[in-house]
Amino acid sequence: MKVLGISGSPRKEEFSGVHRLVTTVLEAAGCSFELVSLRGMKISGCIACLGCVKDNVCKVEDDMKPLREKIIEADAYMIGAPNYYSGLNATTHAFFERWFQFRHQEGNLLWGKLGVAIGVGGTAGQFPADEIEKFFLYNFIETIAKVSGQGAASCYSCGYGETCKVGIPHLLYGEGAKITPEKIPNVTKQEAVMQAAVDAGRLLGKRLLDGHDRMETTLKMQKAMMDKFQGAV
Ligand SMILES: Cc1cc2nc3c(=O)[nH]c(=O)nc-3n(C[C@H](O)[C@H](O)[C@H](O)COP(=O)(O)O)c2cc1C
């Protein structure tokens, strides 16, 4: 059983809460895994060229190309993204848009797999985690856990964080907020978040090793998708 971890943060590993949480979940799962960071990768959004319709292979030449096989081979996904404007950051969104290549003619390469969704935000990370869950559902992947934590917004280190009226320190602590080391959020200091990450990893490992039935999961997720859309018309 192989798990593919994706960190969608553009930050260096040591400064990224997303990278920390994805790593924690992966290590707790007890399965073989590969962690890919999208940092520095050039991945465009889907350009709707329909070049993938006949064979489910995207024809856009960029850094998504070598990820295709990794996505297909994995039994489960652990995907984390930072909260940018209360949603997914653009790189992670572009990465997911390119999963369009797997959909055509009832392409079932990803159906029935398992996923963990991870989000980190300067205030909170639930928005990107919810969006990752939505992308998983489009591919009939079951989100077995969502983990969200608070990371350090750039405002803590940009140099203007104590005076800027639209910065996160001001929004969280009010006017005249002083930036002290203990105020700077770090997921490793958030015990409940780190525990949730370990629990998510263990649950994923258990589900995978307990004879995970992809067909059963596929049917469950197809029903969830139908319910979602039938309520919308
Ligand atoms: C362009 C941009 C937009 C952001 N928008 C939000 C936001 O709307 N809400 C929020 O809570 N944090 C926001 N943040 C802060 C990041 O979510 C925060 O820095 C988080 O720690 C990023 O995760 P990372 O450390 O793994 O990169 C934004 C950061 C950037 C660079």
Residue 226, in any domain of the structure:
no
pLDDT tens per residue, range 201-210: 999 999 999 9
Contact 183, 99 (CB under 8 A): no
Asked whether residue 171 falls in the same domain as residue 102, the answer is: no
Task: Answer yes or no: is pLDDT of 224 > 90.
Answer: yes
Residue 228, in any domain of the structure:
no
Residue 164, in any domain of the structure:
yes
Ligand 1 atom having least distance to the Cα of 15: 25
Ligand 1 atom having least distance to the Cα of 18: 26
Confidence tier at 228 by pLDDT (50, 70, 90): confident
Range of the domain at 65: 2-151+186-218
pLDDT tens per residue, range 193-203: 999 999 999 99
Residue 232, in any domain of the structure:
no
Asked whether residue 146 falls in the same domain as residue 129, the answer is: yes
Asked whether residue 171 falls in the same domain as residue 97, the answer is: no
Ligand 1 atom having least distance to the Cα of 154: 19
Confidence tier at 232 by pLDDT (50, 70, 90): confident
Alpha helices in the chain (DSSP H): 17-29, 67-73, 90-97, 126-138, 168-173, 191-209, 214-230
Asked whether residue 79 falls in the same domain as residue 130, the answer is: yes
Residue 28, in any domain of the structure:
yes
Structural domains in the chain (count): 2
- Nearest CA, atom 19, ligand 1: 153
Q: Domain of 123: which CATH number? A: 3.40.50.360
Instruction: Please indicate, yes or no, whether the overall pTM of this predicted structure exceeds 0.85.
Output: yes
Name the residue of 35, 83, 88 to mutate for ligand 1: max ligand atoms within 8 A of Cβ.
83
Confidence tier at 176 by pLDDT (50, 70, 90): confident
For the segment 107-129, the average pLDDT, to the nearest whole number, is 97
In this structure, the residues whose C-beta lies within 6 A of any atom of ligand 1 are 9, 11, 16-18, 82-86, 120-124, 151-154
Ligand 1 centre to CA of 168 (Å) is: 10
